[in-house]
């Protein structure tokens, strides 16, 4: 159950294939769990809301990573696999390795381009949203499962090669995992403790820190 319930009127049911699309998440360097970069520590832009653990959505709270989400939905992937190279506070031999630290099962979708455009028009001082140049801005909704740093699934170059994928485990990687490979990743994550409440508590603390910085 999401911490914040959103009105699902206007959302469409989604029936994807048993496939998981990898999506890179810039994560905080100031937290003990790999939460989204709430403070823009990585200087990749002020995207403070995605993945949105609080509402169990991606793309609804902000216009960010729109092309990738649109592509995932178009490809009919049922799952989004969240990956990162974590550089946070936890000291571990896993630090700086590529980790799949959570996933989302897409149950519903909605084109929210109008929502984001109206927000932008009402606040002209905001940066022009990515969706302004696109015909659609699909947001996704569904249950999320996130784990601790230590419980993440390690994705190595060797494993990618073994599975027949080219390239390296990096932020540019946009692989789609299916069948037994996807099942292996999901089973690993499902066997670990659900940490989404700690993720939410952590981003709440970071939001408070950001508010104090902006005063």
Tell me the pLDDT of the chain averaged across its residues. Answer: 90
Residue 104 forms part of a structural domain = yes
How many structural domains compose the chain? 1
Listed range (12-16, 199-203, 205-209) with the worst mean pLDDT = 205-209
In a domain, 197, yes or no: yes
**Residue 70 forms part of a structural domain:** yes
Kindly state the tokens that stand for 185.
């990743």
| Residue 198 domain-assigned (yes or no) | yes
Nearest to 103 by CA among 54, 63, 58: 58
3-state SS track over the chain: CCCCCCCCCCCEECCCEEEEEEEECCECCCCCCCCECCCCCCCCCCCCCCCECCCCEECCCCCCCHHHHHHHHHCCEEEEEEEEECCCCCCCCCCCCEEEEEEEECCEEEECHHHHHHHHHHCCCCCCCHHHHCCCCEEEECCEEECCCCCCEECCHHHHHHCCCCCCCCCCCCCEEEHHHHHHHHHHHHCCCCCHHHHHHHHHHHHHHHHHHHC
**What pLDDT is attached to residue 67?**
94
Of the candidates 17, 33, 20, the residue with the CA atom closest to the CA atom of residue 184: 20
Answer yes or no: pTM beyond 0.95: no
Of 30-39, 89-98, 153-162, least confident by mean pLDDT is: 89-98
In a domain, 6, yes or no: no
Domain annotation covers residue 153: yes
Give phi and psi for 150, each to the nearest 5: -70, -25
Q: Is residue 212 part of a domain?
A: no
- At residue 159 the predicted structure's pLDDT band, cuts being 50, 70 and 90, is very high
Give the domain range for residue 41. Answer: 12-207
């Amino acid at each position: 159950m999401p911490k914040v319930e959103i009105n699902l009127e206007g959302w469409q049911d989604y029936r994807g294939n048993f496939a998981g699309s990898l999506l890179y998440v810039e994560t905080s360097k100031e937290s003990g769990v790999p939460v989204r970069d709430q403070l823009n520590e990585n200087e990749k832009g002020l995207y403070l809301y995605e993945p949105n653990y609080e509402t169990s959505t991606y793309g609804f709270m902000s216009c960010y990573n729109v092309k990738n989400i649109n592509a995932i939905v178009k490809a009919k992937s049922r799952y989004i696999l969240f990956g990162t190279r974590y550089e946070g506070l936890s000291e571990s031999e896993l630090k700086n390795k590529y980790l799949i630290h959570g996933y989302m099962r897409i149950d519903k979708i909605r084109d929210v381009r109008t929502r984001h455009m109206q927000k932008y028009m009402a606040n002209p001082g905001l940066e022009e949203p990515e969706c302004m140049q696109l015909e659609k801005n699909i947001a996704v909704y569904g249950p999320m499962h996130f784990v601790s740093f230590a419980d993440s699934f390690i994705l190595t170059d060797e494993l990618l090669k073994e599975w027949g994928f080219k390239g390296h485990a990096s932020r540019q990687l946009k692989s789609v995992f299916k069948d037994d490979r996807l099942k292996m990743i999901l089973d690993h994550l499902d066997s670990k403790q659900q940490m989404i409440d700690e993720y939410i508590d952590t981003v709440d603390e970071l939001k408070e820190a950001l508010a104090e910085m902006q005063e």
